[in-house]
A and B are shown apart, each in its own frame.
Chain A
Amino acid sequence: MLKQCLLRPQTVAFVMNQTPIRSSCHLARLGSTRRSLWRTFSSTNNNDDVNNDNKPRLSVAVVGAGPAGFYASKYLTSSVLKRITQSTSSGDDDDDTHSTPFGFSGIDIDLIERLPTPYGLVRYGVAPDHPEVKNVENDFAALFNKQGESQNSSINFYGNVDVGKQIPLSKLQSLYDVVILAYGCQAADKRLNIPGEDTLEGVLSAREFVAWYNGHPEFQHIGPIVERCLWKKKSNTTNDDDITETSISPARVVVIGQGNVALDVARVLAKGKPGLIDTDTPTSVLNVLKGGVSHVSVVGRRGHVQGAFTIKELRELTKLDKEGHNVSFVVRKEELEMGMTDASMEELKGPGGRPKSRIDKLLQDNAVEEDAQSTDAEKSVEIRFLLNPTQLAPHESNLSKVGHVLCERTRLEGDPGKQRPVGTGEMEELPADLVLVSIGYRGMPLEGMEELDFFDSSSSTVVNEHGKLPGENNLFVTGWIKRGPTGIIGTNIMDAKDTVKSVMNYLETSVPVAGVESQGRDGLNDHLGAHDVKVVDWNQFLRIVSAEIDTTRLRSEAQPREKILAVSEMLNAAQR
C-alpha cells in the first residue's frame, strides 16, 4: 500500500515539476525523501498501535506556543486522525476520496516555545482585567490533558527552547516531516520615524509596556522607567512621603495609536492598583501604577470612523466611571464633526459599516463640547482624533526626558475607504511625562532565516500561499507571523484551518520532503541534550503554574495567580 502511494502518478509529476532547487539544503532533503517515508516508528511512539502496518507516523514541529501554534496543532491532529480513519475504513465506503491510502499511521507534534510558559500573547498580551479572554488557555491545555485518548496522536511541549538560537530552523526541517512556524510578532515594533523617538527617556512602545504589566520575564526593566515617569518629584509640591499606594499620579500620558492595544494600555493606566487588585497583574506592577494616572490621552491621526479599535474595548472605557473606577471618558464633539467627511459617511453606510456605525453612535452619545467635563472623576481618559504626532520634544527641566508631543491637526482627504490624513499646518502641543507608541507590533525573521528568502521585509511576515512557504520544502506558517499582527484570538482559528488544509494537501499530493535525519522527537531530544538546553516539558510547566497559585504568593483569595517574573525562578519551580 505504501509503495503504491509513493509511486502514484501525481507524486511523480510533482517531483518532476519542481521549481529550480535554490539551496544545497533543499537538495539534501530531496535526496532523502524516500528514506524518510520508510522511516520506522521512533522509540517514543507506541508500538502496539491499532494501525499495525509499517507506515510511519507524521512528525511535526510547531514553532511558538501561542494561539496560532495551538490551533494549528489541534486542527492538524484532528485532520490527520480523520484521514487515517477514512483510509482504513476503505472498501465499504462509497465515497472515492475516502478510500485512497494515506502515507501515515499517526501524528506526533512537538510544540516548541522560547519561554518556559505556553500561550503567547494570551498570557503576556491580553489585559489582566480580561480574564474571560484568557479562558482559552483551558482549551489549549486540553490538547495535553487529552493525551492518550488516541494512540495515533501525541503532543509534547518543549518550553525554554528558542528556535534560531538553540536549534537552527534548518535542523528542525531535517528532523521533521513538517515544520509549522507560529512564532508571532512580539519581537519588534512599527516605528513613527519622528524626532525624539529613540533618544528621550519616557518613550516606550506599548508592546514593551504591555509585556511589563503582564509580567513577561524579558520586560521587567520597563518598571523602573515607568516609575520615574509617573512619580518624578514635582519640585516643591510633593515629596516622596506623601505618595501612598493609592495616590493618583499627576503625570500625563500620551498613547499614540488607536487600536485595541492602545485602549488596553490607557485603561490599565487609569484603573491602577484599585481597579486591578483582583487580577493577575504582578504586585510589583501595581506598586508602580498605584492609584492610577490622572490624565491619559489616546491620539490618532485619522478620524473616529477610521479607528482600529473595536466597540467592546471602547465601551469599556466609557463605563469606567459608572463602574466605580473614578475615571471619566472624554471625546470632543468638534473632532467627531471634523471627521465626518462625505467619504466617512459613505464608509458608515458601506459594507463593513455596521461596527463603525455602532462605534460612531457610542462616541456621539459620549461626546462633550470642549472643556465641558461633567463628572467628578479624578482621572480621565481622553480620545483625540485627527492629530498627527510630528515630534517628541524634551522636558524643559530635564532635556534627556520627554516632555511634550507635538501634533499637527489633520483633515481627511480621499475616497471612501481610502481617506488619508493630510496636515493642516495647525499645531498642538500635548504635555507628556510618558509616551507609549502603540502603532503596531512587527514580525521579524527567525535567526538564520534571512538568507532563505522566506521573509518579506515590507510586510514583516513570512512569505506564503495559504500557509505554505514557496518552493520545495516542508515549511508552513500560521498566525500573526503569517498574516501580520492583526485580528483577535478567533482569527487564528480560520488562519490555522487554512494552513492545515495546505499541510494536508502537501501530504496527499507530494512526496513529503522530510529531513536527512528524520528522527523527529528523538532527534530533537538528542540535539537539545547535546547542547545542554534546559527544556521545560508540560508537567514541569504545570509545576510553574502550581507555584504561581501557591496561596503564600497571593495578595488575596481573589487574585488568580502571582506570575513568576524571572526565567531562572521559573526553571527552579519547574524542577521542584
Chain B
Amino acid sequence: MLPRGVISAARAAQIGCKRSGFKLSSVFANTCVSSQTLGNNKQIRWHGDGPGPDAPTVQLTFVNPDDSETKISARVGETLLQSAHRTGVEMEGACEGVCACSTCHVILEQDMYDDLLDKMEDEALSEDEEDMLDMAFGLEQTSRLGCQITVTEGMDGAVISLPKATRNFYVDGHKPTPH
C-alpha cells in the first residue's frame, strides 16, 4: 500500500491537471516528446509505475471482449489501467490515464460500482468522467473509466468486463444505451 498521505502519481497528476490548467498539461506533452527522443525500449511515462511489487495484491478477473477470462493480481493503490497494462490485459489507455480519451472503459459488477460510488464525494462520478463516458463505446449502467478507479483491498475477487466489439459498430456509430 502507498504510505499514508501519499497519493498515486497518476491521481496527483489528475488533480493537478484539473486545478492548474495548461501549465501541467504542457508538462505532459513535454514528457511525451522526451520519451520519444530517447527512443529507448523503456517508456518513460509521466504517471510512473504505480505501487511497487511489495504492495499487497488482490485477485481480479477481466472478461475480455471475446468472453475469455484473464485472472490477474492487482496491486492495491494502482489504477485498474495500470493493473491491466502491467499484466498484459488488452486495455487501451490512449491519454495515459488523465480522463481524456475513454479508451480505458470498463464495465463493473453492480456491487463494486455501488461501493465505489458510495465512497466518492457527493456519491457521484466526477463531471469529467461522466463527460468522457458519454463518448465511450458500448456504455452500460455500471460503466467506468479504468484509469479513474484505484484498486483497494475490498476488490478481491471482483470481475471486470471490457466492452464488447460488435462487428457492425462502425455502421451505426456509437449509440450508448441510456444510463
List residues of chain A with CB under 8 Å of any chain B CB.
129-139, 141-142, 144-146, 148-149, 278-280, 310-312, 315, 323, 349-355, 358, 466, 482-483, 486-491, 493-495, 497-498, 501, 538-539, 542, 545-546, 548-549, 558-561
Contact = CB atoms under 8 A, between A and B. Distances in A.
B26 A483 contact: no
B33 A352 contact: no
B93 A353 contact: no
Given A133-B95, A466-B167, A558-B22, 20 more contacts: A134-B29, A135-B29, A135-B98, A141-B35, A278-B26, A310-B131, A310-B134, A323-B21, A351-B175, A352-B176, A354-B178, A358-B130, A488-B101, A490-B137, A493-B103, A494-B169, A495-B169, A498-B167, A549-B33, A558-B26
A138 B96 contact: yes
A539 B95 contact: no
Contacts of A279: 22, 26, 29
Contact of B43 (A142, A539, A561): A142
A81 to B, nearest CB: 12
A487 B169 CA distance: 11
7 closest cross-chain pairs (CB), A and B? A560-B29, A131-B29, A355-B134, A483-B170, A136-B94, A490-B103, A132-B100
A132 B32 CA distance: 10
14 contacts: A133-B100, A135-B95, A136-B95, A137-B36, A139-B94, A139-B96, A144-B39, A148-B41, A278-B26, A354-B176, A490-B136, A497-B165, A538-B39, A548-B33
A279 B30 CA distance: 10
Contacts of A129: 22, 25
Interface residues of B, number: 54
Nearest to A74: B92
Q: Taking each of A144, A482, A487, which has the highest tally of chain B beta carbons within 10 Å of its own beta carbon?
A: A487
B17 A138 contact: no
Nearest to B27: A558
Chain B: interface secondary structure? loop
Nearest to A353: B178
Nearest to B33: A549
Contact of A355 (B23, B37, B40, B176): B176
B9 interface: no
A280 B27 CA distance: 11
B84 interface: no
A559 B27 CA distance: 9
A323 B167 CA distance: 42
A490 B36 contact: no
B174 interface: yes
Contact of A354 (B34, B101, B179): B179
Contacts of A141: 35-36
B102 interface: yes
Contacts of A487: 170, 173-174
Interface string B25-63: 111111011111101110101000000000000000000
Q: Taking each of A139, A311, A490, which has the highest tally of chain B beta carbons within 10 Å of its own beta carbon?
A: A490
Chain A: interface secondary structure? helix
Interface string B77-116: 0000000000000001111101011110000000000000
B33 to A, nearest CB: 5
A495 B170 contact: yes
B127 interface: yes
Nearest to A497: B165
Interface string B107-145: 000000000000000000001101110111101000000
Q: Taking each of A141, A349, A559, which has the highest tally of chain B beta carbons within 10 Å of its own beta carbon?
A: A141
A375 to B, nearest CB: 19
Contacts of A482: 170
Nearest to B102: A490
A149 B169 CA distance: 33
Contacts of A488: 101-102, 135
A148 B40 CA distance: 11
Nearest to A312: B131
Contacts of A354: 134, 139, 176-179
Nearest to A498: B167
B33 A560 contact: yes
A491 B169 CA distance: 9
B177 A486 contact: no
Nearest to A277: B22
A202 B22 CA distance: 31
A256 to B, nearest CB: 22
Given A145-B41, A549-B37, A138 B170 contact: no
B29 A494 contact: no
B32 A137 contact: yes
Contacts of B27: 558
Given A138-B36, A323-B21, A486 B101 contact: no
Contacts of B100: 130, 132-133, 135
A123 to B, nearest CB: 11
Contacts of B177: 351-352, 354
Nearest to A354: B179
Q: Taking each of A132, A146, A315, A559, which has the highest tally of chain B beta carbons within 10 Å of its own beta carbon?
A: A132
